[in-house]
Structure 1
């Protein structure tokens, strides 16, 4: 079996061809950063109370017609009730003064039968004010995010398999178009139901675009450039889009304008079709040797190097496939067919689940950091930058297994300590929460690269998509996670911390991939170091196997 990295070594690692692929694929993730967490602003709940129609009552009664309630130790206007208008009208007509002649606690209350009045101090409108997702309909607000992540879940599952079957490039652009078109269509949603359906398909396209771009770059680029791309390039561009989100939301305070700006940015990436090639690794795995060689020769021309007369020696060319020679198809079932691959897949699924629920849980909870949601969102986004830089350095110089485990452990333990912080030190709680976000962000960046390095080309996108699918189960329950604080204030942090610590130890059971070439076949993956307890060294395990594998 050929070694792709050695066969294409004549191209170099950082020629014009690699630079084009690197920067264009990285840039394609900027709309993902803006779009995936735009729900923080699009579905935020502005201050509101019952609307009071024009009614003939005195100013004294108008000032108190909305009851005062205590929420989290603070007094605020009731959001879902008011004193009955007919009763207030009669008392006002009698000349009675509220609080002096009438005890307000004895008055009967009613719901917001005339609708709600929403504050415009921060937003001109959100989908909450547009579709009245408050009071009895308030469950729809977190459920909106859940529907988005359900779309991400479905997209994670199908995009990986479609990409392994039909190619990285077609799925990459198809899902990018899906993300752009359905985000644009949301602007014209007449009801919450229509908005949610369109949001579901937008999420489906978003994750498919990201995973396809990630795998495409991982397979085209080689050496340290591949590590730089997978750990720092795409992640920093995602963070860049994330940091641009609060800036866009600050100037576009209407939810429709914000979504329109995010959708239109996707149109800028249409010309990328003529600059981003298909993955030669994938073409070779499908037996399409001539197409793979054409891409490599074009790359050599751009890099101004001379390509060999025959690049891929070990492939027969020009032969029509018969049923007996037809390329073997692989599916998600190959991920659980053998014990070694099955153990790796199950551990990775659990780790991905923990990372996603931790990352999105802390991201969606960013409104708790300060009274200004724009500043809160920017802080949450900015803390990802050192996380991605740390992951790049770790992937560059340290083994995957201990570095990923340590990052996960840092995230989990930091959240555990929040419950020990005194009430008079809220800044320390915020710092620990952001340290937890840093740990989950760092491990998230590394686990993408780690997963891609463990699986062979014929299963790489399917494996990445399957792990992402399982992880999105966590993202679907994230919108409701921090509502558990009504039972115990620190319960969400305890749950996230426990998951982080358990996953940190589970990572130690994975094979190591540091310094080894990407496997091309399932047989090469089988030759990798088997999943075993890191505390136990089996006698008789031949070390030369690992050395020989690294030289394939």
Structure 2
């Protein structure tokens, strides 16, 4: 791999961190302090403990969060005692929040999004995912139609605009609109440069570029975010600090080359050759003239193709492959999100819990990077899914506590591997003309799938073991579906619909390879183009 590709890998860093910020920031700006009670204006001059004792009923071992006494507070102040047999009413004048577990005011505490308004924060989060669905499809199409670089700039600028707009919101409706804009940038703000980088490296480097970028940059951003929020201690300033860096994307058109694969797929052969010549200068190597001639001839033959995601669905083999890929990815998303939601009760504070769960990303994806090219994509999607399914089923029938938590954490580790391997697998199975929009469609299917994971967790009220049982069955079914997909380990990514169909047909369910027919899929020639060596 040449110097240019290494610099491109390093250039993925800020966008990997942005990826984590876009996805997780709302957890920190809209966190709900767990201890709150009704505010009584007449008692505000009193000590916190005293006014709470005078105004709030006790519910078991804790104070009521949404009810207060219906009392004559002038008389209560005069007597410094409550009359007997007082009735309770809902909070009339907002809430007081004890900033302990969340040591700074958030959107929730400032605007009183608790009790009867507690649905506002999850509603805004749901609207964020609605934006992700819309933006994923829009910018995926844009990346395939106008190029990877314009789509990357568009998504990150939208994240900047939405983040800054969130600071100046006052109500649910404007907050939700701002989060919708940020949601539109989710996925594309990183996955666009992720796809572009994969298109510039050969198969021998693709695995570590794909997975280490997620482990180091997304994982690192996830680990940094809770402590950045604690250090800043103000949700508006947190948004300023995390939104302004998105402007880095304005330098991308001057520093990051457009994908030569995409240019050639659109018939822009001269621009593609210029990009490759630029690689020669930076890498200090020479592309063999024979390999370059083959590239030009191949690109010229597809000049009028303008292939897109529509053509994927018009092709019976690719349509079947796409459906299977979507089902596997949806299963990974449901299981991942379900296990995250079920692991919230670890007994630690919010920031430590978030850090610990995020820390599982780095070792699991690093292990995946080491073994993915040895064991293959299909084995490392279906195998971890199978193991996660078995672990989930076992966890469903063991006692609560350490045994169940241990099995659930191991299942989470496995699903991390399957989830990230599936992301790379999707990019490698789709032809160049539909790679960005197809990958976005696959990822959007994951967002849609996670809508049902809270209901799976909620099914615990019917039967304690039901959520883990459902997740285990989903994992086993997804592993079976994944076996129907072709292996891409060591293969070049398909340039055209025809090459994509050939890959689908070239492997059986047992993995036995069918003899290749197209001489254009020559490993050494492609290696020369992608590495400039």
- How far apart in 1 are the matches of 2:472 and 2:231? 36
- Residues in 2 aligned to 1:412 and 1:516: alpha-carbon distance in whole angstroms: 29
Question: How far apart, CA to CA, are the structure 1 residues paired with 2:489 and 2:144?
Answer: 24
Equivalence map 1:385-396=2 (5 Å): 385-396=362-373
**After superposition, what is the alpha-carbon deviation per residue over 1:209-240, rounded to whole angstroms, capped at 9, x for unaligned?**
22211110111111322221112223321101
Structure-2 change in CA distance of 1:436 and 1:252 (3 Å) = farther
- 1:372 maps to 2:349: yes
Taking structure 1 as reference, are residues 91 and 130 closer, same or farther at Cα in structure 2, changes over 3 Å only? closer
Matches within 5 A, 1:471-550: 471-478=446-453, 482-530=457-505, 534=509, 543-545=514-516
CA change 1:313–1:515 in 2 (3 A) is closer
Q: Aligned pair 1:50/2:38, yes or no?
A: yes
Whether the 8 Å CA contact 1:123–1:254 is kept in 2: the answer is no
Q: For the Cα contact (< 8 Å) 1:147–1:476, is it kept in 2?
A: no
In 1: Cα distance, 2:81 partner to 2:5 partner: 80
User: SS in structure 1 opposite 2:12?
Assistant: helix
2:60 is the counterpart of 1:85: no
Count residues with an aligned counterpart: 518
Which stretch has the larger CA shift, 133-142 or 361-370? 361-370
Which consecutive residues of structure 2, in runs of 5 or more, have no partner in the other structure? 524-533
Partner residue, 1:277: 257
Question: Which residue of the partner structure matches residue 160 of structure 1?
Answer: 140
The answer for the alignment partner of 2:153 in structure 1 is 173
Task: Please report how far the alpha carbon of residue 50 of structure 1 lies from its aligned counterpart in structure 2 after TM superposition.
Answer: 1.0
* Alignment root-mean-square deviation, CA: 3.2
Q: Distance in 1 between matches of 2:180 and 2:223?
A: 23
Structure 2 counterpart of 1:336: 313
Q: How does 1:212-291 map to 2 (within 5 A)?
A: 212-291=192-271
Contact conserved, 1:43 with 1:141, CA < 8 A, in 2?
Answer: yes
Question: Is 2:382–2:482's contact at 8 Å kept on the other side of the alignment?
Answer: yes
Change (3 A) 1:81 1:438: same
Separation in structure 2 between the aligned mates of residue 36 and residue 150 of structure 1, nearest angstrom: 13
Q: Kindly tell me: are residues 534 and 367 of structure 1, through their superposed partners in 2, closer, same or farther at Cα, counting changes over 3 Å? A: same
TM-score (normalised: structure 1): 0.85
Instruction: Give a deviation string over 1:231-273, Cα, whole Å, max 9, x none.
Output: 2223321101011011112212322222222112323443333
Aligned 8 A contact 2:105 2:234 in 1: yes
Question: Partner residue of 1:66?
Answer: 56
* Offset of residue 147 of structure 1: 1.2
Cα separation, partners in 2 of 1:416 and 1:139, compared to 1, 3 Å: farther
CA contact 2:388–2:414 (8 Å) conserved in 1: yes
Which consecutive unaligned segments of at least 5 residues does structure 1 have? 1-13
Distance 1:44 1:433, change over 3 A: farther
* Counterparts of 1:363 and 1:317, CA distance in 2: 46
The partner residue of 2:19 within 3, 27, 32 is: 32
Which whole-Å CA distance do the structure 1 matches of 2:71 and 2:370 have between them? 65
- Deviation at 1:318? 13
Q: For residues 220 and 430 of structure 2, what CA distance do their matches in structure 1 show?
A: 29
Q: Contact 1:151/1:203 (CA < 8 Å) preserved in 2?
A: yes
Q: Find the aligned partners of 1:376 and 1:78 in 2 and give their Cα distance.
A: 26
In structure 2, relative to structure 1, the CA distance for the partners of 1:432 and 1:265 (3 Å cut) is farther
**Following the alignment from structure 2 to structure 1, what is the Cα–Cα distance between the partners of residues 241 and 459?**
34
SS, match of residue 336 in structure 1: helix
1:207 aligns with 2:184: no
Change (3 A) 1:491 1:92: farther
Q: Displacement of 1:334 after TM fit?
A: 2.3
- 1:505 deviates by 1.4
Alignment-derived partner of residue 76 in structure 1:
62
Alignment of 1:346-385 (within 5 A): 346-363=323-340, 367-385=344-362
TM superposition shift of 1:338: 2.7
Q: How far apart in 2 are the matches of 1:242 and 1:420?
A: 32
1:197 CA displacement: 0.8
Quick check: 2:203–2:491 contact (8 Å CA) kept in 1? no
Query: More deviation in 61-70 or 447-456?
Result: 61-70
The 8 Å contact of residues 26 and 229 in structure 1, kept in 2 or not, is answered as no
Q: Deviations over 1:57-95 (max 9, x none)?
A: 99989625322224xxxx221111112123x77689799
CA–CA separation in structure 2 for the residues paired with 1:382 and 1:28: 19
Out of 526-535 and 37-46, give the one that drifted further: 526-535
Aligned to 2:304: 327
| Deviation, structure 1 residue 386 | 1.2
CA distance in 2: counterparts of 1:542 and 1:120, whole angstroms: 61
CA apart distance, 1:436: 2.4
> For the structure 1 residues 60 and 49, does the alpha-carbon distance in structure 2 shift closer, same or farther, using more than 3 Å as the test?
closer
Q: How far does residue 363 in structure 1 lie from its aligned partner after superposition?
A: 3.9
Asked if the contact 2:37–2:97 (Cα under 8 Å) also holds between the matched residues in 1, the reply is yes
Q: Confirm or deny that 1:123 pairs with 2:100.
A: no
- Preserved CA contact (<8 Å) 2:208 2:369: yes
* Distance apart, 1:472 and its partner CA: 1.2
Paired residue for 1:17? 4
Structure 2 distance, partners of 1:31, 1:61, is 43
Quick one: structure 1 residues 486 and 269, their matched pair in 2 at CA, closer, same or farther if it must change by over 3 Å? Answer: same
Q: Is 1:416–2:393 an aligned residue pair?
A: yes
